[in-house]
Structure 1
């Protein structure tokens, strides 16, 4: 008995007894149906948690990437001022000077003058609202999702100076392809004695791109800077300066240096100002989903308690015998703790594997779901991006594993303590 009391915790014989109980058939007092239910429950709960975290991370990463890859990180505007002829304006006449000063700010990778306006695009009797971005060819080449690595593209971007580049959604809505000529119609055209007449110009489609964002592909078009100035009556001026920075996530720290570079007329608008509320909503939703799925993991882990209670009840005679031959309360507790912990570990391991497989093959899974629904399971016009992304990160897997194992180990202690405190005399009285 003294030897038993001096045995180190989790000795080999404790593991052997625990495995013997787990391997025993149910009629011999072994693993109950509840244990299998808890194993499956933990597996599914952990898998659901990992899948949810992976999808939410992937969605946020894809959303941010399409924003940063298609839009300016920071946009500089001019405040309202009075021109020499007494009119109020926000146009930036000294745009080259602004661009030079902004490009000199540490952390800025590009500063590009931009002319921007909304027009009606027409082809073969079909019309579509289009947002025109007028910029220089060299500046267009630096936009990742448009020129450097778009999801898809057609035509030759080197011919940009000869025509217009449009999003694939615009091309699809108008029914045009590379080589077709589309008309751009602006209500703010030439001023005549009879009023302002609409301006209509034709441009050859030389490049079609897919940026990966539904709203961008459906409305975005690029014109050469000089052509856009002429079309929108912005001769000698720009509407804004697009600025790209080396660390977009730290763009808030760049606001003051950029404003100081252009002077008191400058106004700044960052990508976080445009999409910050949506990203904050995503963060809140991530936290809420983690809490909800943590409760699901807890419910699954609580099934371990039921399984262990049934196992303790079936093994009452064995516990009495083990106690009479010198096994301590601590050893009995550890035996049944091992039984419950193994269920939690196996369930967590299987859950990680299932969740990782689901996240890895998310495209195939969504294709199957889309087939079951007859199409339309993922609507890009609502969600902004074209597919459900999933990004499996080690930190998310670690959070799920820690939560599952922690809950499994904690809930296992209570039925294990009950077994350890069982009176061996009472356990053997009716045997």
Structure 2
């Protein structure tokens, strides 16, 4: 007569452990079990590394946007004055910037001149985007100003210009060199506007961390930019920095109320929102694909456990005739199958975290094997492959693996529990 015992009693663990460590000739752990263990390890490792890289890439990408650009840009559309001349920008930019600065949640607001130019060292010529800004405001830009990855003296900015490191590298110049800046919006003559060319000393070279910024951006003192682009008395935009960029939409209306009816906003989410949404979709797709890989690896447990049940049919019959319940048999084989999932998950967790924490060394090794760089900053925007381990990502990977391993183990374990002991011992 079968006698019920408490679930997962000591003897159940003992029997399961004996089955797991038995030699293959005795019906122990099969090759399929080892394959499933390795498969789960690799799948969990890949899932953790992928989630860490995606989180790191997103954080670095957003940080380079917020660290080198305005959180909100206030501008105005082109308009025509009473004389028929086309105007754009703000004439009362100082008062406007002060009014916006007083909006709760706004850290600072400053007028800005923007224009497109050609920069030449005499031999090479590159296109660049000019940002006309005051020296005080330049120092406050996290990825550009004081404390940023740069060389040169930012205190001398009033007497020269600042270049991105990519632009300086393409031109082959360094701090102290002089470059010619050429603008199509130049000197006004009776025949129209003639191109304007001025020579400036490079006093500061910065690295913002974004390939497109470092290769195209040039900072010029605000007053000089006004003169260079014939914008005396005007500012093209008002740069606004807020204390919580993630909630920038909540400040758009108050900023517009302070800026006036002609003002229009453009937030950092407007410029990067489509890319961030694409990253979200890619994250979900990658998680789904790698989850399927974890499921496939977990299904191998079924094959190994079915083989173990078949080899242990005689033992199951004897145990049942000795009074072991169906539940006890089920739990014994559940432990055998779940053991593979747990060990594979632990190994995958350790390897995944180790690779994510040393992704720079891994990429360097891959580059060495490949014989060249495998990360192209001109395509991906940032200079290196970042990784950021997040507790939620690790827990989701571990939870998914354990959950799938436990679920698929139930079916062959139930088959063992429902085995008829008479049929199991008939031919013994």
User: Which residue of structure 2 lines up, in the alignment, with residue 231 of structure 1?
Assistant: 228
Match of 1:378 among 375, 379, 384: 375
Which residue of structure 1 aligns with residue 131 of structure 2? 133
The answer to whether residue 179 in structure 2 is matched with residue 182 in structure 1 is yes
Measured against aligned partners, the alpha-carbon deviations of 1:360-413 in whole angstroms (never above 9, x if no partner) come to 111011111112222131111111001111111010000001110110000000
**Cα deviation 1:264-299 (Å, max 9, x = unaligned):** 111000011111001101100110111111100000
Give the corresponding residue for 2:353. Answer: 356
Q: For 1:266-305, list aligned pairs within 5 A.
A: 266-305=263-302
**CA separation of 1:124/1:79 partners in 2, compared to 1, >3 Å: closer, same or farther?**
closer
Query: Over residues 48-90 of structure 1, what are the superposed CA-to-partner deviations in whole Å (9 max), with x where a residue is unaligned?
Result: 1111111111111111010010100000002333335331211
Which of the residues 338, 360, 381 maps onto 2:335?
338
- What is the match of residue 124 of structure 1? 122
Rounded to whole Å, the distance in 2 between the matches of 1:281 and 1:338 is: 42
- Alignment size in residue pairs: 428
Q: Any idea what SS the aligned residue of 2:266 has?
A: strand
Look up the match of 1:114.
112
Other-structure match for 1:34: 32
**Alignment match, 2:68:** 70
Structure 1 residue 31, shift from structure 2 partner: 0.5
Please tell me whether residue 54 in structure 1 is matched to residue 62 in structure 2: no
- Matches of 1:416 and 1:427, distance apart in 2: 15
Alignment of 1:181-260 (within 5 A): 181-260=178-257
Match of 1:418 in 2: 415
Aligned counterpart, 1:25: 23
Alpha-carbon distance in structure 2 between the residues aligned to 1:80 and 1:231: 20
TM-score (norm: length of structure 2): 0.98
Whether 2:426 is the aligned partner of 1:429: answer yes
Partner deviation per Cα, 1:224-245 (whole Å, 9 max, x = no partner)? 1111111111111100000000
Following superposition, the deviation at residue 100 of structure 1 comes to 0.6
Q: What CA RMSD, in Å, does the superposition of the two structures yield over aligned residues?
A: 1.0
Separation in 2 of the partners of 1:303 and 1:149?
54
Aligned position for 2:261: 264
1:134-170 CA distance string (max 9 Å, x none): 00111111111111443x3111111111100100001
Q: Please give the secondary structure, in 1, of the residue aligned with 2:143.
A: helix
Give the gaps of 5 or more residues in structure 2: none
Show structure 1 runs of 5+ residues with no match.
none
TM-score by length of 1: 0.98
